[in-house]
Every structure is written in C-alpha cells, then in structure tokens.
Structure 1
Amino acid sequence: MNLKVWSEASLNGITKNLRPHHSSVSGKQRKLNKRSWDSDIPFPRVPTSLSVILVGTAAVVCYINSLDGGFVFDDSEAIINNEDLKPETPISNLLYNDFWGTRLTHNASHKSYRPLTVLSFRWNYWLAGGLHPRGFHLMNVALHAIVSMLSLAIFNLLLGGASHRSALLASVLFAVHPIHAEAVAGVVGRADLLCTLFYFLGFIAYCNSLHFDWGIYQAAMLLLSMVFCATAMFCKEQGITVIGLCSVYDVIVNGKQHPIRILRLLQQCFILRKISWPPGHSEQCPMITPSNCDTPVVQNRSWVETNKQKHGWLVLLFVRWRIMASSAPTFQRVDNPASFADSILTRVLSYSYIYALNGWLLLCPEWLCFDWSMGCIPLVESLEPRLLAVGLFWMTFIALLWKSLSIPSGKGQRSLIMCLAALVIPFLPATNVFFRVGFVIAERVLYLPSVGFCLLVIVGLRKLAMFHGSHRAIQIGYTYVVLLLGIRAVCRSAEWRTEAVLFHSGLSVCPLNAKVHYNIAKNAGDAGNRTLAIFEYREALRLHSEYDQAMNNLANILKDEGKLHEAERLLRKAVQLRPDFAAAWMNLGIVLAGLKHHSEAETSYFTALAYRKKYPDCYYNLGNLYLEQQRYGDAYRAWRNATALKPTHVVAWSNLIIMLDSIGQMDRAESIAQEALTILPQEPSLHFNLANALGKTGRFVEAEKHFIEAITLDRKNAVYYTNLGVLYHRWKKYDKAERLYQQALELNPHLQSAKDNMALLQKARNRIANQQ
C-alpha cells in the first residue's frame, strides 16, 4: 500500500481498521516482516556486558588525550572568571545567576540557566582544591563514556526492543563521533553531557512506565521521568525536548500507530468540529472514541499519558520562562547574523543552509571549528551555488519523511520515524524558529541530535544488507568508518588541549571569521608575541570593522608600545560603537592619562564606573591618576575601593603601602601592609614593601624578617636581594650586604642599583680601612 491509496479514500469510506490494506503486500514482504528485525544486521550478537565494555572503551580511547588539556575558549568565562565556582561564594547564587555567573535579571545575561552544571564545576573545584583542569576533563570523559554505554538501551528502545546488535553498532558510532569533541574536550561541554545523561534516564523511565498497568508503579515511573526531564533542563535548556521524544515513542512505537492514521484522525476531528458546532458556539472538538470516529485511536493509555505529560511540560516551560525573568536574552548581530536579516527570504535561505551544514558535519565531520560566527558563514541573499546544498538537504529530509509516511506500518517504518524524531526534536531549540539563539553553529549542540543520526546510519545499513546481501563488504565498510571517525575524534580532541592549536585550527575552516583572528591575536598577546597579536587584531578589524573588543585589545598593545594617539582613536571608536563598554572607557582613561589629559581621563574612569559599579581595576587606575596629580587622599580612597571590591588586588595594596611610605605616614603604611598580609600571607611583594617601610624607621630586625620572607617566596627577584643588601649596608653588616649584592647581580647582571650599591659598599670599606 502507498500513500496515494490512503489519500484517495474518502472520509465516509474509512474503515474501522486499516489492516486489510496491509494484507495486500506481496508474499516476499510478509516473509520479511516475520523475520527478526535485528537478524538482518550482518554482525554477530555480542553479550550485553561485553557490549557495554566495548562502547565505554571506545568512548574513552577517543577522548582520553584531552585529560592533559587546559581551560580553553569559553572555559575562561564559565570557569576561570566565574565567581560561582569559588567556595567563598554562597551556593545560593547558583539559583539566581546564569551559566556564566551573571545575574539572570541583568541585561547582559544570556539567560542560560544551568545551576546543576555549575554545581558540578563547583564540585570539581572543591575536589581538586582549585582550578586544576585535569579533574574537570576527567569528569567530562567519564560522563561521555557513561552516556555512550547508556545509549545501548536508548537505541534498543528506539528500535522497538530486541535489537541488540543494531544498538551496539549505533552506540559505537555515537561513542567515536568527532562532532562530540567540543562537548567532551571542552569543559563547558559538561552542560551537554549532563543534559544528555538525564535526557536518556528520563526517556528510559517513561518507556518503563508503559509496561505497567495504571497504578502506583506507573505513576512513580512517570513522576521519575518528569524529575529526570527537569534535571536535564537545569543542566541545559535542550533537556526539556525529551518530552517530545517520549510522546512520539508512545504513539508510534508503543501504540503502533501509523502517522497517516493520526493525520486522518486530526482531519476527521476538524470536520466533526465544523459539523457538530454551529457558529457562535464552542468549537471544542468532542472526544474522539471508537463510537464517534471511524478511524481507530490508540487502544491503550497513550492519549491519557501524553496529555498528562503535556501538562508537566507546560509547567516546566512556565518555570523556565519565569526563571528568565519572563524575557528573552539579547544577542548582537555578530552572534547570529541570519536572525537579524531584514528579508524573510534571506533568513529562510540562510537558516536552511545552516541546517544543511549541521547535517554535513554529522555526515562528514571534517570541517570542525570552535566558533562559526562573525562572517564565517555569509548570508544567502541571492541565487548562488550554496543553494544546491540547501536543495539537497531538503530533498533528503523530505524523502526520509515521505518514506516514513508511505511504507506500511511495521518495525522498519517505526524505526525510521524514531530516527527522525531523535534527530530533529533535540535540535529544535537551535533552529531559530521559536526564538533567536546566540550562535550560528555550535558543534556541542549536536551531541544529543547525533543519537538520531547514528541510528539512521544503522537503519540504512540494515536496509542495504537486506537487499544487497554483501555482508562482508558491509562489515569492512562499517569498521573502516568507525576507525576513520575514531582517528578524527582523537586528532580533534588533541586540538582542544591548548588555545594556540585550537584557534589556529579554525583558520582552515573559517578564514573569514573575525573572531578566529581575534582569539589568535589574544592568545599571542598573552604569550608576549605582540607582532603577531597586532597583525591578527588588524585582520579581525579588516573583516569586521565594528569589532569593538578587537579595537580595545589592539589599543592596549599600542598603548604599551607608546602609540598613544592611535590607541586613543581606536578606543574612542569602540565606546562610540558600544557606549556601555566599561573596559574600553577605563582603557581610554589610561591612554588619556598617558597623554596628560588628566581631566578627560578622570571623566573616562567615572563613565566606566557608571556602567560597571563593581570595577576594582578601574578604581586602581583612577588611584594612579590621582597619585600622579599628588591628590594623595583621593588616591588612597580609590585604592581602598579597589581592595574592598577585590581583596586580592595585590598592586592596589602595594601602591597604598608605597604611597603612605613615601609621604612619611609610616604607621599607616605598616597598618595597611599588615592588613593585606592577613589576606595574602604568601604574596612576596607585600612582605617586600613592608620591609622597606620598616627599614626606613630603623626597625632592622623586623625588616630583615620580611625581606627574607619575600626572597623565600620569590627567589628569582634580584631587587629583593638588592634591598636586603641595602638594609645590611645601613646596619653596617658589610659582609652580608656584599653577598646579597653579588646574588642580585648573578640573577640580573645589568641591575644598575646593585652595581651602584656595590660601589658604595667598596668606598665605605676603603674609608674604614684608611681610618684604621
């Protein structure tokens, strides 16, 4: 039977059961239907325990090299700079802040509410005693292995049960797929790993509930399923889509309903609604039962359960919306250019091309990039070759959809529908259809939809084995694909270990992406390679002339090289493009101070503080401006604000001590130093500055103690040895002074202060010798 036969039947002639049509298939087809679905897979049956071991091992082998990696790319904001991970931060902050540590009610918040994921980061931080990346990566690899092993049960359920060989083949593909590198090797991908774990558990719990009659056990399993669904959602927003997959499974696999039958039911409901209710009355469709609808409905509890699940989904959706402060996140055009396009046609074509690229990355994961924004994928605005990819994508998708609708109801047809459901439903939040997202392509978003893709490959492999019978070739081909994907996963995982390698790998995929060049420049600047940093920042600005962050960072380097006027021009343009860019306002203040435009510099600092009230670095630089103007009281207050906002702000503490020492307020200098040392007892510069202040007042013993402590904490600082030598010199312990000067010159032969003091020491000794 085909779709045409069904579509030609009139509604008045619909029979109470469509099975007589199915009986018209050929004898060959009936024979195939009677065979075990899994028996057509040309691979031997593997015991369940061994299957679990094989899948877990494959997952670990492909990504174990990421254990030596550091924190890269988004890890900086989500982990290194996220105060919510620190033990001193109240754990209740996780309930009010987003994934990046920003208050959900803040305008800059991305509304990504993932408290359970942040809680797992916090647990890693506590366990390792700090930000040690190995523990974070170890947990990611372990989670991927667990999810991969759990996928055996998921694939078996999606195939309707008794499909262990197919499930194993699909799970191996899932375990080794390189598209997972970002989710596993990048620590931020923890959100996708945890979400998928609870997504799977929620789906399994729901499927188990279908095996119970109505009662306490089924209610408990349904409740457990909703709990896992909520947990998945609080790990990542994508988790809520498990309810859609459960609903499809309930109707298609458990209820064994053909989609055409459901469509006819909906059509008949629509007609009954038009006929039964006159205008002006309620248009609610009467309950469709075998007594008033010719088309049979699910002869079990599916509709009731689905309805209850729908209510649970609505509650979770409402809770999620309230958490977001009932407002959608705000993104910039560069984050997702297609969503800002004025033309509807441009948006549709560009979205379609992005969908096609996502499909291609699943099929051939060669083009992998850490970031796909900022010109990486130009908008599709006219007739061009990329439309061929769009056409091919939609033709393939429609063909698969048509195939799932046109073939008779059976395990093969249900498996195809579940493949498409597992592929499409988790991907829906990333489609820009329901709301704007803050990315163009995010590879970690494909972690969960890849379940449907891997299953689709195995369904196709089974179909190939059924009708072509070259089992040896299929076995070799599958093994070759798994090895190829595994090698690619190992290589890609290695690229995620360091930012330098990761950022340069993006150039071959997205050379037009200004953000790729920006990140290369930032990494080079941090490594001290200013030449490369300047070149890449300029390239980023060439590709995206309004890239304010690139302007800010380039201006910082130019400022350090003394090119203050060019730095000023860049910073003024940056704050013109983004008036609330606090960092750029602060840096403009530094440049203006360097140009001796003190009044304008002060105004810039105050503007930065107006946009970011808790900005210790800005207070620190404002204090430096006041010190230069000899406004010591204002400088003191500015630096105290910096230390109040950030008690570990070492340079602010040091400047306070040095300034008070230099203006003769020795007691206050000592008091500030002692206060700072209670917070930072292992900071050598604080011991050094306190020792200098004590030495000036003649308290040589105490000064000696702090100088020695500073040298113990930092044995390679020649200045520390020189100043301790000066203390001994004043103390008239000339032998010790000479030894300290010599040690300082060994560390830094060009240190002029040590040379001068050594010469003074020799004169003093000669003078003493002449007197004798």
Structure 2
Amino acid sequence: MAKDKFNDKSKDKKVDLTSESKLQLRLIYIFIFAFSFLLYSNTISHGYVLDDDVNTRANKYVQEGLKGIPKIISKSYYHGFNGENEGAYRPVVLVIMAIEKHFWGNDPKVGHLFNLFYYGLACILVFVLMHHIFRNKGHIIPLIISLLFIAHPIHTEVVANIKSRDEILCFLFIILTLIFLVKYNYSKRLPQLILSLLFYFLSLLTKEYGFTLIGVIPVLVYIISNKDIKNTAIATAPYFAVAGVYFLLRSSLLDNIAFQEEMDLINNSLVGATTYSDRLATAVTIMGKYVMLLIYPHPLSFDYSYNQIPIVSWIDIRPIFSLLVYVAMGVITIKALLKKEIVAFGIVFFVFTISIVSNIFVEIGATFAERFLFIPSFGFCIVLVLALKRMLKFNPGANKNKLTFYGIIALLLISYSFKTYDRNKDWKSNLTLFTADVEACPNSARTHYSLASTLNNNSGVESNPKKRARMLQRAVVGFKKSLEIYPEFSSAWYNMGVALYSLGKPEEAKTAYENAIMINPADKQALNNLGVIWFNKKKYYKALEYFLQAVDVNPTFVDSYANIGAVYHNLGDMDNAIAYYNKALELNPNNRSAKENLAKAYRSVGAIEQAN
C-alpha cells in the first residue's frame, strides 16, 4: 500500500503544473464553491440572529462605515459595542463589516451572502493546500477532504451566524499562511515566505487562533522538507517574530490584554468546580466531547453553558476515556512523524487549534461551543480520510476496495449535507434557533432563558391580546425552568419580573425583581421597576427609595431621574420635581415623558413661559 508521506526525491524538483489539466482544476474549484454555496443557500434569507449585533447594528464604529475604520484599528474588538478597551484585538473582521455597512447598510442578506462567499473561498483554499501537500498524488484525496470539510454540520453555527465571520476569515488566512509556506519550502522563493508571514499576521488580526500555528508550522515543515528538527525550528522563527509584533501591537493599543471581568458560572460551568482536579477532569471530558461531536454531529446547539455539561471527577469514566483518546493521538502522531506521514499534520492541526479553547490552560468565556470546532475540524477531516484510506488499503490508482471507500465517503457526504441543510433552518431567527435548542440542550439555563427572553421581547409587538398573553406565559415557564437549573441567574429573575408585570401580576413581578437585586444589587432596571410598582401603589416614599438606588448605581440612568421627578411631582414638591425632570432631559433631551411632566410642573407653579 502506498503511504501518504514525503520521503521521495520529487519534492525537491519544480512541479510542472502545465502537465496537469488546468481545466480540471478550474472545474474542481467551481464545484467546491458551488457545493458550499448551495449547501448554505437557505441561510441567505435569514435575519440577524444571536450575537450578530456585536459586530453589526450595535457596534457604533461599524455603523459609522468607512469613517469608523480608524477607531476600529485603534481599539479592542468590543470597544464599539460596550466601550471596554480590553481583551480581544480583531480589527480585520470589523473593518470588513464597516465596509459592508458603508456600501449596503444594515442588510442581513448581504451579511449572509458574504459569509457564504468567504466560506466557499476558504473551502477552495483547503483543496489548494491539500493538493500542494499531496504533491504528484492526484486530486482525489484532496478533493474528498475538502468536500467532507464543506459538508460537516459542525460548521452551521459559524456559516449561518454573521458574527462568526471572524472564524471564517481567520481560517482563510491560516490556510493561506500554510499554502505559501508549503510553496516556499518547495521553491525557496522569498516572496512566498513574505506572503505566508503576511497572511499569518492577518490571521492574528482576525482571531487568536493564529497563535496555535506556532505548533502546527514546525510539524508541516518537517513533513514536507528534508530539514532536521533543528533546521525546522529555525524555519519557524519568523512566525514567532510576527506573533511577537502582534502581541506588542495589541499590548500598546488595549488597556488590558485580557478580559478583567470576573468569570460567571452561567458562561463557563468550570467556574463551579470546587477543586482544580475536578476542573481538569471536566475540561478533559469536554475535549473528548469535541471529538465525539465531530464523529457524530447530533444534536447541535448554539449553547452548552451551565449545567448542560456538569462537573465531573477522575472517578468518572468519561475523563479517563477522553484522556486515553488524546494519548492515542499522541502515540500515532509520533509514529507518523518518524515516517513523515501527512496524518501527523492532521492530528497536530486539530490538537493545537482546539487547545486554545480547551479550558485546560486558561478558563475562557464559554464551557463548550460548536464554533470552536470550525477550524480544528479541518484536521479531523484529514485524519478521517487518511484513516479510511489506510484501513481499506485504498489506492486511487487501483481498483481494490474502491467501491467500499467511495461508498463510505458518499454516505458521509450525504448524511453530513442533509444534517447541515436541515440545521441551517434553525438559524433563521432567534425564535427558531432557541426553540430548537431547548430540546437539544435541555439542561442549559441559557437555552431556556434565551427562548423565554425572545418570547418576552416579541410579545411587545404582538397586537393580538390572546397571542400576546400566551407568549408571556410561555416566557414565564421558560424563565422558571432556567432558574430551576441556575437559581442565581439574576437576569432570568429580572426578565421574569418583566413578563409577570406585563401579564398583570405586579406582586409576583415584585418578588422576581427583589430576587434579582439580591443576587445583583447593581441591577438598575430591577431597582427602577420595583420603584414603578411601589409608585403605582401610591407608596411614593418607598418608590423614591428604589429610584434613588437606581441612580446611585448608575448616575446616567435617565428613566429613574424622570421617575424621581414624578415622585416629587405627586408629593407636591415642584422644585425637586422640576430639578429631576431637567436632569433627565439633560441626559436625554428627547425623553418625551420628562418633557410633558416638566411642562405640567411649570404650569402648576405659574411658570407659563417655561412650560411653553
């Protein structure tokens, strides 16, 4: 059996690509792009979903279009969204989003179309890279790897979610980095190396996955070249230098290179581990779950937060099994490296790119996510195809086991494609996504909360009173389910209070708001809403107590200033009423309620001129 390795002398010779059918290659490129585009074509009509607003409508710099680009380049990824200049520095994707906004406005169809375009381009580049690596060995294996990558259902979150454009672009730049690295190793032409380093820098400016190439590049160079370990390390040095430049740039522009906010249990279940041993056991278990979801991608969910993946210890079989899987990967990699087999590159690519989100080395802002598998899945597809090829002793140039090999690949492609196309439908809107995913991840407090919040929000625009009431009742049920899983979820208490108040149950709403501020005393909205409930009972001093607390925790909270004015107005203290109405209007000159009440207050003291 022919092995997929690089120990032949042909790699040192210039390959005459004109001997291959250029037309055939072009047809393959067209087919790859068409397949990827058609597979996700049912996402084009989708709206903004989940966290798309982070880098679209709710990002003030993106909304400025071309004028916002200088600010994007000089601030953190989230600064235009929440004003915090810390953590991630990913200007490339935001610059692209700003350009889209400038020319096409806020149109989700355009966003989805560009996601499909970049994804199709990335998939073509996957084929190009594998075609370069499988030098002189035909198109079949590179094409199969590319098609499996395209069809894998784990990619639905990234391709169907506009916000995940950063994942697609980062992967695209990673593949370009490797393509020009391979070309440089064959040709020794300096421009190829410069282009590789440039694309590596762009990958870092898009998302932090680029850092993991520091572990991947030496392995690829070692496999495709005659270099020993020492010279391989030397060949990797320029990439370390580029990473250092990026790190210095990031450090100089951001106030903090890491997120300063304390990790919340609702975002990462590992925070709830009482010992480091249990945290590590759970993280290792999660690493095994990533492999399992690549092998059997069902069911899929946008969220796996608390308590979908519970804390486990080493007496549980799951972390032990997961650890053995990765130990086996290590053994296979070492053996494959000694023989310079390509499967080693696939394993190393998977392990290194997944390591950055593993929660083993550092806790990140999520327990587990399908989007984290988008880039690592490329390594999985390489390993899967080469493992099948070896097990079946398949050789593209021979007939032995050809039918079996192609049959398995066809079965995988058909099943993957069906699952992908079907899963895309769930990403049409927040309502369709969250409705599907409470079934997929019933033990996640966030899935129930997200569906309940969407029903709560949508009820505000429902004109049919009966339908509106049913939506609010479903929302309350969802919030209660979320709180059964995580009783300390302050946002769920607050939003349940909103739904209960809309249902005409102010006493139950009051209890929900009180629970919210017991958990989060700085919840200005819960404090304000409690004040409104007491105000409606004509308990003005009790209402005033909560309104004052709200402006104490947030001195720019317009609603509570206007409400304080209303309290004093009803108490007959017009001087204070006028003062607080004016304060509200100072913060927001367009506050209609404060304007009208201020005019009434002026008229009540005979200040007709000011009232007008």
Short-chain TM bin:
0.7 to 0.9
For the residues of structure 2 that align with 1:522 and 1:661, how far apart are their CA atoms? 41
- Call closer, same or farther: CA 1:96–1:487 in 2, change over 3 Å: same
Q: What amino acid sits opposite 1:49 in the alignment?
A: R
Distance 1:86 1:408, change over 3 A: closer
Is 1:398 equivalent to 2:327 in the alignment? yes
Q: Summarize the Cα distance change of 1:582–1:234 in structure 2 as closer, same or farther, 3 Å threshold.
A: farther
Q: Which residue of 2 aligns with 1:585?
A: 527
- Residue number in structure 1 paired with 2:366: 439
Q: From 212, 215, 223, give the equivalent of 1:252.
A: 223
Q: Which residue of 1 aligns with 2:198?
A: 227
Aligned partner of 2:17 in structure 1 is none
Output the amino acid matched with 1:244. Answer: G
Q: Say whether the 8 Å CA contact 1:660–1:668 is kept in structure 2.
A: yes
CA contact (8 A) 1:229 1:243 kept: no
- Pairing partner for 2:250 from 320, 323, 337: 320
What code does the residue aligned with 1:128 have? W
**Aligned partner of 2:239 among 304, 309, 325:** 309
Work out the CA distance in 1 between the residues paired with 2:71 and 2:337. 54
Does 2:94 match 1:123? no
Change (3 A) 1:382 1:431: closer
For the 8 Å contact 1:46–1:165, the answer to whether it is kept is no
Q: Which residue of 2 aligns with 1:14?
A: none
Matched with 2:375 is: 448
Q: 1:379 aligns with which of 288, 311, 333?
A: 311
2:403 — aligned with what?
472
* 1:276-315 correspondence to structure 2 within 5 Å: 297-298=230-231, 302-315=232-245
Q: Pairwise mapping of residues 335-734 of structure 1 onto structure 2 (< 5 A)?
A: 335-381=267-313, 383-384=315-316, 387=317, 389-406=318-335, 409-410=338-339, 413-466=340-393, 469-528=400-459, 529-629=471-571, 634=576, 638=580, 642=584, 645=587
SS at match of 1:441: coil
Residues 704-732 of structure 1 deviation map (CA, whole Å, 9 limit, x = unaligned): xxxxxxxxxxxxxxxxxxxxxxxxxxxxx
Query: How far off its partner does 1:636 sit?
Result: 5.3
Cα deviation 1:456-489 (Å, max 9, x = unaligned): 1111122134269321122122112101111111
Asked if 1:104 is matched to 2:33, the reply is: no
Cα distance in 1 for partners of 2:587, 2:138 equals 60
Task: Please say which of residues 496-505 and 312-321 is displaced more in the overlay.
Answer: 312-321
Q: Residues of 2 paired with 1:648 and 1:242: CA distance? A: 51
Is contact 2:547–2:564 with CA below 8 Å preserved after alignment? yes
Q: What secondary structure is seen at the aligned counterpart in 2 of 1:345? A: helix
**Alignment match, 1:737:** none
Separation (CA, whole Å) in 1 of partners of 2:439 and 2:512? 29
Structure-2 change in CA distance of 1:446 and 1:662 (3 Å): farther
Q: Is 1:207 matched with 2:182?
A: yes
2:356 partner SS: helix
**What is the identity, as a one-letter code, of the residue corresponding to 1:127?**
F
1:179 positional shift? 0.7
- The CA distance in 2 between the partners of 1:503 and 1:66, in whole Å, is 16
The offset of 1:78, in angstroms, is 4.5
In 2, the alpha carbon distance for the partners of 1:637 and 1:199 equals 59
Shift in Å, 1:396: 3.3
- CA distance in 1 between counterparts of 2:266 and 2:581 reads 37
The aligned counterpart of 1:10 is none
Shift in CA distance, 195/494, structure 1 to aligned 2, threshold 3 Å = same
- Whether the 8 Å CA contact 2:6–2:224 is kept in 1: the answer is no
Distance in 1, Cα, partners of 2:245 & 2:415: 44
In the TM superposition, residue 376 of structure 1 has moved relative to its aligned partner by 0.8
Structure 1: how far apart are the matches of 2:572 and 2:169? Answer: 56
Residue 387 of structure 2: SS of its match in structure 1? helix
* 1:166 matches 2:141: yes
Deviation of the 1:440 alpha carbon: 1.0
In terms of Rg, which structure is larger?
1
Displacement of 1:530 in angstroms is: 1.1
Q: Residue type of the partner of 1:369?
A: S
Q: Deviations over 1:115-166 (max 9, x none)?
A: 322233333333333x332111111111111111111122234546745321
> What's the counterpart of residue 112 of structure 2?
137
Tell me the distance in 2 between the aligned counterparts of 1:401 and 1:178: 26
What letter is aligned with 2:391?
L
Tell whether the 8 Å contact from 1:56 to 1:175 is kept in structure 2 after alignment: no
Within the alignment, does 1:156 sit opposite 2:131 as a pair? yes
Shift of 1:60: 0.9
Give the Cα separation in 1 of the matches to 2:592 and 2:136. Answer: 63
**Percent identity of paired positions between Structure 1 and Structure 2:** 23
CA apart distance, 1:170: 0.8
* DSSP-derived class of the 1:142 partner: helix
**Residues of 1 paired with 2:136 and 2:164: CA distance?**
31
What is the DSSP-based 3-state SS (H/G/I as helix, E as strand, rest coil) of the residue aligned with 1:557? Answer: helix
- Contact 1:67–1:134 at 8 Å: present in 2 too? yes
> In 1, distance between residues paired with 2:486 and 2:217?
44
SS of residue paired to 2:364: coil
> Are 2:36 and 1:67 aligned?
no
Name the CA shift for 1:123/1:311 in 2 (closer, same or farther; >3 Å): closer
Structure 2 counterpart of 1:333: 265
Instruction: Please tell me the root mean square deviation across aligned C-alpha atoms, in Å.
Output: 3.4
Unpaired runs of at least 5, structure 1 = 1-26, 38-43, 263-296, 671-772
With the length of structure 2 as denominator, give the TM-score of the two structures.
0.85
| Mapped contact 1:70–1:133 kept (Cα < 8 A) | yes
Q: Structure 1 residues 118 and 667, CA, compared in 2 at 3 Å: closer, same or farther?
A: farther
- In the TM superposition, residue 651 of structure 1 has moved relative to its aligned partner by 5.4
Question: Do the aligned partners of residues 339 and 319 (structure 1) sit closer, same or farther apart at CA in structure 2, a change above 3 Å counting?
Answer: farther
Q: Which amino acid aligns with 1:435?
A: V
Could you tell me how far 1:443 is from its partner in structure 2? 0.9
Q: Secondary structure in 2 aligned to 1:419? A: helix
Q: Cα gap change, 1:644/1:312 in structure 2, threshold over 3 Å: closer, same or farther?
A: same
The alpha-carbon distance between structure 1 residues 548 and 29, as it changes in their structure 2 partners (threshold 3 A), is closer
Distance in 2 separating the partners of 1:167 and 1:536? 47
Q: 1:565 to 1:352 in 2, by over 3 A?
A: same
Match for residue 190 of structure 1? 165
Look up the SS of the partner of 1:433 in the other structure: coil
Q: Is the 8 A contact 1:52 1:149 kept in 2?
A: yes
**Given the alignment of the two structures, is residue 50 of structure 1 paired with residue 27 of structure 2, yes or no?**
yes
Contact 1:371 1:516 in 2 (8 A): yes
**SS of match in other structure, 2:40:** helix
Q: CA deviation at 1:658?
A: 7.3
Q: CA, structure 1 residues 461+653, in 2 after alignment: closer, same or farther (shift >3 Å)?
A: farther
Partner of 1:176: 151
Q: 1:162 to 1:605 in 2, by over 3 A?
A: farther
Superimposed CA distance per residue, residues 567-599 of structure 1 (whole angstroms, 9 cap, x where no aligned partner) = 333223222222333332333332333343433
Q: CA deviation at 1:448?
A: 0.7
Looking at structure 1, the residues matched to 69 and 599 of structure 2 have their Cα atoms a distance apart, in angstroms, of 35
Q: Distance in 1 between matches of 2:519 and 2:379?
A: 43
Distance 1:383-1:401 versus aligned 2 partners, 3 A rule? closer
> What CA distance in whole angstroms lies between the structure 1 residues aligned with 2:321 and 2:26?
41
Cα distance in 2 between the residues matched to 1:548 and 1:585 = 12
Q: How far apart are 1:341 and its partner, in Å?
A: 1.4
Instruction: Tell me the CA shift for residue 243 of structure 1.
Output: 3.4
The superposition leaves residues 31-53 of structure 1 with CA deviations (integer Å, 9 ceiling, x where unpaired) of: 9987999xxxxxx9992111111
Check the 8 A contact 1:230/1:240 in 2, yes or no. no
User: Does the C-alpha gap of structure 1 residues 650 and 141 become closer, same or farther in structure 2, counting only changes over 3 Å?
Assistant: farther
Preserved contact between residue 158 and residue 249 of structure 1 (Cα < 8 Å): no
Superposition deviation, residue 343 in structure 1: 1.6
Q: 1:238 to 1:650 in 2, by over 3 A?
A: farther
Q: 32, 56, 63: which is aligned to 1:86?
A: 63
Deviation (angstroms), 1:84: 2.9
Scaled by the length of structure 1, the TM-score of the pair is: 0.69
With over 3 angstroms needed to count, the CA separation of the structure-2 counterparts of 1:102 and 1:481, relative to structure 1, is same
Give distance in 1, aligned partners of 2:56 and 2:593. Answer: 24
